[in-house]
């Protein structure tokens, strides 16, 4: 269990990129290769006890033990789905803030749905996370610590990440960039960029920053409507970054990375689920190498939206397919424990 006073007095090294860690160690008079040694202990051997890092000098270990730490998260509650094995974790941070993450089991390729913020400031009208308000950004260490805590509890390795939990990743870009660079590093978890998907509601400068970073993560866009007026009513971010600007950023990202872009489209009964709207989606995505994940709305208590019937969902899918798009209906996981898309709330009970 994390001790709040200890964590507050020490600097967290978890989630820092290799370059940032090397700079930190340079300030201690150490050579850059020490950063790689520490990385290998933490990410490859899964050891975060400085005392056991026996290829570091004793004086360095003494300084590290005195002044630094690798943050952990207290597991406050775990809910396990009886339907599909999905597990939803409620973690308590050192300052008492709560954040939720989800473990999605798949044979041979377990996935973690990570949060990047405590709550969310984007205000999407259908989302439980936004309805709960915004607390703060998560640190790089708190982002990575979610993986460590889930793997320890599950006794299983995580192979894929989706940054689709609480918060807008590109609203916390500096910390997300650090954490992802650490995980992608050959000295770290050595995940390929295709194993990490970053989902955004459409923060255009953040998409541009991701492109310029060279990380080449898979990009998922929360679309939910094919025209500005409707989308702005569902997702306030569209008032600041309308679809024309968003699609420009998406095309630039794809040109730079040569990666297929995923568009997430939640279907709300009577709002965005008509045949005409399906054709409008196809028009909007013309020329973009993409796939569309159709998500029948997962109900959230207190919010007004409803899910369409399955026939409407299939009809929408068929229009997209007839227009040459790859369109799949996402299978809900964790709905019985409020762990499905848009349902994370950070409730204690």
Catalytic residues: 100, 341
Nearest C-alpha neighbor of 4 from the set 85, 81, 96? 96
What are the residues whose beta carbons fall under 8 Å from the beta carbon of 260, sequence distance 6 or more?
218, 254, 289, 290, 291
| Angle made by CA atoms 227, 229, 231, in degrees to the nearest 5 | 65
Beta strands 117-119 and 134-137, pairing class:
antiparallel
8 A C-beta contact, residue 253 and residue 294: no
20 φ, ψ (degrees, to nearest 5): -65, -40
Residue 107, classified by CB atoms within 10 Å of its CB into exposed (0-12), middle (13-18) or buried (19+), is exposed
8 A C-beta contact, residue 172 and residue 203: no
The C-alpha atoms of residue 111 and residue 191 are separated, in whole angstroms, by 13
H-type alpha helices, 191-309: 204-213, 228-234, 237-240, 243-257, 275-284
Dihedral sign, Cα of residue 186, residue 190, residue 195, residue 198: negative
8 A C-beta contact, residue 130 and residue 171: no
The C-alpha atoms of residue 125 and residue 303 are separated, in whole angstroms, by 8
């Amino acid at each position: 269990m994390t001790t709040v006073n200890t964590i507050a007095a020490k600097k967290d090294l978890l989630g820092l990129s290799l370059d940032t860690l090397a700079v930190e160690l340079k300030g201690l008079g150490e050579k850059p290769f020490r950063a790689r040694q520490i990385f290998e202990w933490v990410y490859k051997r899964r050891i975060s006890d400085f005392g056991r890092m026996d290829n570091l000098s004793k004086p360095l270990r003494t300084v590290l033990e005195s002044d630094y730490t690798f943050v952990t998260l207290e597991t406050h509650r775990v809910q396990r789905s009886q339907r599909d094995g999905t597990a939803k974790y409620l973690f308590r941070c050192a300052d008492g803030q709560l954040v939720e993450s989800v473990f999605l089991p798949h044979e041979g390729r377990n996935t973690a749905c990570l949060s990047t913020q405590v709550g969310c400031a984007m205000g999407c009208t259908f989302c439980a996370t936004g309805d709960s308000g915004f607390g703060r950004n998560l640190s790089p260490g708190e982002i990575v610590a979610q993986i460590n805590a889930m793997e320890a509890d599950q006794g299983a390795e995580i192979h894929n990440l989706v940054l689709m939990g609480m918060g807008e990743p590109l609203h916390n870009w500096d910390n997300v960039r650090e954490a992802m660079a650490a995980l992608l590093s050959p000295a770290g978890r050595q995940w390929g960029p295709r194993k990490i998907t970053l989902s955004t509601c459409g923060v255009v400068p953040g998409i541009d920053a991701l492109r310029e970073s060279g990380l080449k993560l898979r990009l998922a866009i929360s679309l939910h409507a094919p025209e500005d007026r409707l989308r702005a009513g569902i997702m306030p971010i569209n008032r600041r970054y309308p679809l024309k600007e968003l699609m420009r950023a998406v095309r630039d990202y794809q040109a730079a990375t040569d990666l297929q872009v995923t568009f997430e489209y939640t279907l709300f009964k009577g709002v965005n689920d008509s045949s005409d709207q399906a054709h409008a989606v196809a028009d909007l995505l013309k020329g973009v190498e993409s796939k569309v994940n159709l998500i029948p709305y997962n109900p959230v208590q207190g919010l007004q939206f409803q899910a369409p019937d399955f026939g409407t969902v299939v009809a929408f899918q068929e229009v997209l397919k007839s227009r040459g798009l790859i369109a799949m209906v996402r299978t809900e996981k964790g709905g019985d424990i409020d762990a499905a898309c848009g349902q994370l709330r950070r409730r204690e009970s």
